[in-house]
Each structure stands twice: as structure tokens, then as C-alpha cells.
């Protein structure tokens, strides 16, 4: 126990206690897809991607990422899983959420984003959604859509 390094709860303004790294997030996604298939449940994943509005403002992407991560840690349910996918992309795994419930969560996040002035920091946030089994019936197809951000936008 003495050799275990404690991970700080906040690093550079981001509350890391609830945000998983990419590997752990994708492993949990795999387990949830297998569970959903076995028990005939649903799941949805929201992919939040940050886009710099101009080349000059691309340096503020980290600031926007911190704002987005902090917002998500406050807005998602305790049972939802947040994962860091890349320097400009965060995933939110919504177990037992069908396409409709995923849309509701997406709409709720979009409403919350209106109050965070990302455009003043030179960024915008795009939210995509993929759902099991609608957009993929196995882990590989869903993971590809999650990592490519190739989900539904409406």
C-alpha cells in the first residue's frame, strides 16, 4: 500500500477522479456491449469533440477541454462513465440508454453547453451519439464509430 501513488483529484483544472483513460473506457465499453447483448439491453455513447474555430485559437483547446471535462463531471449521473478518448474528444457511456434516452442526454448536455462560453475561447463542441444495437451489434463496430466520431448528430 505504501508504494501506491495516489492520483490527484484535480490536475490542471480537470477533476480526473471521474474521467477514465482511453484504454479503461474502451474496456468498459466492451464489457457493457457484451452485457447488453447477453441481457438484450441498450446502451448509448455520446462523443463530445472539441473543434478550434480558427488556427490561431487552437492553443486554447486545452482550456476548452478542461472546461468540458469539468462540466461533464458535474452533469452526468454517477452511473454514467466518462472517458478521455483523445486530446480533443471525450466519451460518455450511458448504460441502459436506448437511442431516445441517448438523445435526451445529448439534448441536456447541449443545453448545458449554451451557458459555457466555448466560442469566446475559440472552440465549439460537437456531440455525436452511437447506440447499441442501432448503430452496431458488436464491440468492434461501436468502438470504431466511437473513435471516429461517426455517430448520429440530430
pLDDT at 153: 57
Q: Is 102 helix (H, G, I), strand (E, B) or coil?
A: helix
101-146 pLDDT tens trace:
999 999 999 999 988 888 888 889 999 999 999 999 888 888 888 7
56-65 pLDDT tens trace:
655 578 888 8
Residue ranges of domains in the chain, CATH in brackets = 17-148 (3.30.70.270)
Sheet with 89-95, strands from edge to edge, namely 19-20, 81-86, 89-95, 43-52, 123-132
Strands 14-15, 10-11: pairing kind: antiparallel
pLDDT at 40: 94
pLDDT at 76: 86
What is the DSSP code (8-state) at residue 117? Answer: -
What is the DSSP code (8-state) at residue 152? Answer: B
4-51 pLDDT tens trace:
444 444 444 444 457 899 999 999 999 999 999 999 999 999 999 998
Helical spans, DSSP H, in 12-138: 22-39, 61-75, 99-113
Amino acid at each position: 500500500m505504501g508504494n501506491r501513488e495516489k492520483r490527484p483529484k484535480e490536475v490542471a483544472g480537470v477533476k480526473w477522479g471521474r474521467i477514465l483513460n482511453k484504454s479503461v473506457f474502451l474496456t468498459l465499453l466492451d464489457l457493457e456491449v457484451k452485457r447488453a447483448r447477453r441481457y438484450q439491453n441498450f446502451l448509448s455513447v455520446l462523443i463530445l469533440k472539441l473543434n478550434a474555430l480558427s488556427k490561431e485559437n487552437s492553443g486554447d483547446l486545452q482550456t476548452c477541454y478542461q472546461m468540458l471535462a469539468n462540466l461533464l463531471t458535474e452533469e452526468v449521473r454517477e452511473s454514467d462513465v466518462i472517458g478521455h478518448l483523445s486530446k480533443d474528444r471525450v466519451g460518455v457511456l450511458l448504460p441502459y440508454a436506448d437511442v431516445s434516452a441517448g438523445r435526451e442526454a445529448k439534448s441536456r448536455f447541449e443545453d448545458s453547453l449554451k451557458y459555457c462560453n466555448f466560442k469566446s475561447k475559440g472552440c465549439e463542441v460537437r456531440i455525436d451519439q452511437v447506440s447499441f444495437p442501432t448503430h452496431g451489434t458488436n464491440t468492434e463496430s461501436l468502438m470504431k464509430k466511437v473513435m471516429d466520431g461517426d455517430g448520429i448528430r440530430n
